Structure 1
């Protein structure tokens, strides 16, 4: 007679692959970076909302907000948001091109990833150089 009260032997289930299993490549990094910059842009939206609230609260509140963003840490955060904006923009355009069915082969995808990163660096630096030249910093 069989013993029905015993649990059946469980099979060893395979573990899903993790980042350590895969060899890093540029399109993998750009995919992760796209998600991270999306999160950073949400933080930027909160900063924009705080700017509007400070502006509505009057000159003292706005001056405090400006001094916070004008501090070295504030400028670093704003530079990070600039980089996030331009990267997310470039990679979003890249995804729109992919949605048309173009640029999906490995060589094109790698090239477009490099173009996105180069555009991000060039546009971010250009905006901050122009801001410095016009006295906005």
Structure 2
């Protein structure tokens, strides 16, 4: 018994988890992290949607107050980020669904799906906001 414990004690200390000291960051690792962050951002953004709906139900003064805040440039930045987070998280969910079916598990396909998710979420956000701004005649006010 003493010999077994001596052997265990003489081994070099190993990290519990290799984490980023061993692995280099890949696109799929970054996208997994961003997927979690966008999920949390959607929670906060949904509270804004609830606030807007509650203001609309409360009357025109409250609704004008909330839309006035969201119509400022910081409000527009928050809404732009919410739009991107929504699209990115939804497309990430589709990517995970594809993987759940057992498809797309080669490294090149994993990387390709990650880049496609990133590109489509950015392009979709720009298209949506371009449409909104053009239909409003320029600036959201």
Partner of 1:68: 69
Unaligned segments of structure 2, at least 5 residues: none
After the TM superposition, which residues 76-87 of structure 1 pair with which residues of structure 2 at under 5 Å, given as runs?
76-87=77-88
What is the TM-score of this pair, normalised by structure 1? Answer: 0.87
Partner of 2:47: 46
Partner of 2:117: 116
| Cα distance in 2 between the residues matched to 1:59 and 1:20 | 55
| Cα distance in 2 between the residues matched to 1:17 and 1:73 | 40
After the TM superposition, which residues 1-137 of structure 1 pair with which residues of structure 2 at under 5 Å, given as runs?
12=13, 14-135=15-136, 137=140
1:3-57 Cα deviation digits (max 9, x unpaired):
xxxxx99955634333344201100000000000000111111011101111122
Unaligned segments of structure 1, at least 5 residues: 1-7
Q: Which of the pair is proportionally richer in helix?
A: 2
| Cα distance in 2 between the residues matched to 1:73 and 1:108 | 38
Query: Root-mean-square deviation (CA), in Å?
Result: 1.9
| Cα distance in 1 between the residues matched to 2:15 and 2:23 | 16
| Cα distance in 1 between the residues matched to 2:20 and 2:81 | 25
What is the TM-score of this pair, normalised by structure 2? Answer: 0.85
| Cα distance in 2 between the residues matched to 1:132 and 1:19 | 42
| Cα distance in 1 between the residues matched to 2:21 and 2:69 | 39
| Cα distance in 2 between the residues matched to 1:37 and 1:21 | 26
